[in-house]
């Protein structure tokens, strides 16, 4: 087991550029972490979708630093809480997920997490193990810890009530469920984005009440567009605004290159582990008129290198230049079979996850066959005997063979 680092200058590195705030205070956290005691910190992730993305990575970088200091780290998969969905920032109640949907979503979470956290350096847990066993009497006792006034003071609930939109009691239970995770695991601290502050502070109150411990809460910076203030990695946004740790090297490179220039510095600061000095040089260059495209290429290369290695990053860069710089076809394309129309073909080939997605792309004029826009998703188009080229969106190319 790793030795506990008590050097305060090294501990301070945890609270660097990724961290927004520390509760009850940075000084108290520093004191506890320098005590020589091995503390337990956790990060909770709800599998409401199949991917971890660049917006999650700031939290993972902080966990990595805590592991380096010798502390115990838990990655908690919120397989129970995901069925409700966190109401934070939502203007409507989230769609409830089934157990089967949650299980499908979280299949590769561990595989994605170890792209940042060293294998074997953390524990993996699932909150269904304790939340699924709580009886009504235990839930009643939990509910006494939070007031209705605290809940309805939250911005998103205030907006909904002002617009006469429903707020369910289930949504009130979400912070209690997340808060109880801290009690069940007897943690000393929690890491999460600033949008999770309320939920994490509920957990802090519950730990104080049930375990008589002073839980540390470390909130991290959100990955936001520097001009609009909107989240850069939002699953509900259009293609190109969501970069998954599951993306191929080529897809990741292309998605990052498609982001607005105002995303460059936030991504360098909060989605990479480059030194502060290196990022300061990049920032100075941009302020002095350096072409943002050059900086974005450096960013894309760095991120692909992090998750796929330098060799794959170079190949992705070359491919991007080949396709978008020289307007040529990719050297390698997945080969698929035409199944009557673009709807059936794309679903059977696994190009899209739903019929609605391909229909939207067709309506947007984003689907081409041999450079002809497909206007009707139900149209049976002619496929060349030697194969046609299917292009979906700006970056996906497929070699299509006639169906048998």
Band the pLDDT of 298: cuts 50, 70, 90.
very high
Q: What angle do CA 182, 114, 223 make, to 5 degrees?
A: 70
Q: Could you please report the per-residue DSSP string of 250-296?
A: HHHHHHHHTS-GGGHHHHHHHS----HHHHHHHHHHHHTT--HHHHH
Q: Which secondary-structure segment (H or E) carries 196?
A: none
* Residues in Cβ contact with 113 at an 8 Å cutoff, skipping those fewer than 6 apart: 52, 60, 75, 122, 124
Alpha carbon distance 110, 112 (integer Å): 5
| The pLDDT of residue 79 | 96
Closest CA to 399 of 377, 378, 384: 384
Residue 237 clears pLDDT 60, i.e. is over it: no
| The pLDDT of residue 210 | 95
* Residues in Cβ contact with 171 at an 8 Å cutoff, skipping those fewer than 6 apart: 84, 87, 93, 157
Percent of the chain with pLDDT over 70: 96
H helices, E strands: number in the chain: 18, 11
Band the pLDDT of 235: cuts 50, 70, 90.
low
| The pLDDT of residue 353 | 65
If you average pLDDT over every residue of the chain, what do you get? Answer: 89
Q: At 337, phi and psi to the nearest 5?
A: -110, 135
Q: Do residues 124 and 110 lie in contact, with contact meaning Cβ atoms separated by under 8 Å?
A: yes
| The pLDDT of residue 241 | 62
- pLDDT tens, position by position, 6-49: 999 999 999 999 999 999 999 999 999 999 999 999 999 999 98
Other CB atoms closer than 10 Å to residue 48's CB: what's the count? 20
Residue 208 clears pLDDT 50, i.e. is over it: yes
* Residues in Cβ contact with 378 at an 8 Å cutoff, skipping those fewer than 6 apart: 341, 343
**Ordered structural domains, the chain, with CATH:** 8-220 (3.40.50.620), 249-325 (1.10.240.10), 334-401 (3.10.290.10)
Q: Which residue has the higher pLDDT, 331 or 172?
A: 172
Q: Which residue has the higher pLDDT, 69 or 368?
A: 69
Band the pLDDT of 121: cuts 50, 70, 90.
very high
- pLDDT tens, position by position, 52-66: 999 999 999 999 999
Percent of the chain with pLDDT over 90: 61
DSSP alpha helix (H) spans, 41-88: 57-68
Band the pLDDT of 238: cuts 50, 70, 90.
very low
Alpha carbon distance 231, 241 (integer Å): 9
- pLDDT tens, position by position, 301-315: 999 999 999 999 999
Q: Using CB atoms within 10 Å of the CB of residue 34, give its burial: 0 to 12 exposed, 13 to 18 middle, 19+ buried.
A: middle
If you average pLDDT over residues 188-198, what whole number do you get?
A: 96
Residue 361 clears pLDDT 50, i.e. is over it: yes
Alpha carbon distance 359, 130 (integer Å): 41
Query: What is residue 226's three-state secondary structure?
Result: coil
Mapping DSSP onto H, E and C, the string for 94-151 reads: CCCCCHHHHHHHCCCHHHHHCCCCCCCCCEEEECHHHHCCCCHHHHHHHHCCCCHHHH
Band the pLDDT of 149: cuts 50, 70, 90.
very high
Lowest-confidence pick of 128-142, 264-278, 337-351: 337-351
């Amino acid at each position: 087991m790793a030795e506990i680092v008590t050097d305060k200058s090294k501990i301070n590195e945890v609270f660097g550029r990724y961290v927004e705030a520390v509760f009850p205070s940075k000084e108290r956290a520093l004191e506890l972490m320098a005590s020589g005691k091995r503390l337990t910190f956790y990060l909770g992730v709800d599998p409401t979708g199949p991917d971890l993305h660049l917006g999650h990575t700031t939290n993972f970088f902080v966990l990595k630093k805590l592991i380096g200091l010798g502390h115990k780290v838990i990655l908690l998969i919120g397989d129970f809480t995901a069925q409700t969905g966190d109401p934070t920032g939502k203007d409507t109640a989230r769609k409830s997920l089934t157990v089967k949907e949650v299980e499908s979503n979280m299949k590769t979470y561990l595989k994605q997490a170890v792209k940042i956290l060293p294998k074997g350096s953390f524990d993996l847990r699932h909150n269904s193990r304790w939340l699924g066993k709580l009886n009504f009497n235990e839930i009643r006792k939990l509910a006494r810890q939070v007031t209705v006034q605290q809940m309805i003071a939250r911005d998103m609930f205030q907006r909904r009530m002002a617009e006469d939109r429903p707020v369910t009691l289930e949504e009130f239970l979400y912070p209690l469920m997340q808060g109880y995770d801290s009690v069940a695991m007897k943690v000393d601290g929690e890491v999460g984005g600033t949008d999770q502050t309320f939920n994490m502070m509920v957990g802090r109150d519950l730990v104080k009440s049930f375990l008589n411990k002073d839980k540390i809460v470390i909130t991290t910076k959100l990955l936001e567009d520097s001009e609009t203030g909107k989240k850069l990695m939002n699953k509900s946004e259009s293609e190109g605004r969501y970069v998954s740790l599951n993306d191929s090297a080529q897809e990741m490179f292309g998605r990052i290159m498609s982001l607005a220039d105002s995303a460059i510095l936030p991504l360098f600061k909060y989605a990479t582990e480059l030194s502060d000095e290196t990022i300061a040089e990049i920032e100075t260059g941009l302020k002095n008129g350096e072409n943002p495209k050059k900086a974005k290429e450096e960013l894309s290369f760095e991120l692909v290198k992090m998750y796929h290695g330098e060799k794959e990053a170079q190949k992705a860069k070359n491919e991007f230049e080949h396709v978008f710089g020289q307007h040529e076809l990719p050297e390698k394309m997945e080969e698929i079979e035409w199944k009557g129309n673009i709807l059936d073909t794309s679903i059977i080939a696994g190009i899209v996850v739903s019929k609605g997605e391909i229909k939207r792309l067709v309506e947007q004029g984003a689907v081409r066959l041999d450079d002809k826009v497909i206007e009707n998703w139900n149209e049976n188009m002619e496929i060349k005997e030697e194969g046609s080229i299917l292009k979906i969106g700006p970056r996906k190319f497929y070699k299509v063979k006639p169906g048998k």
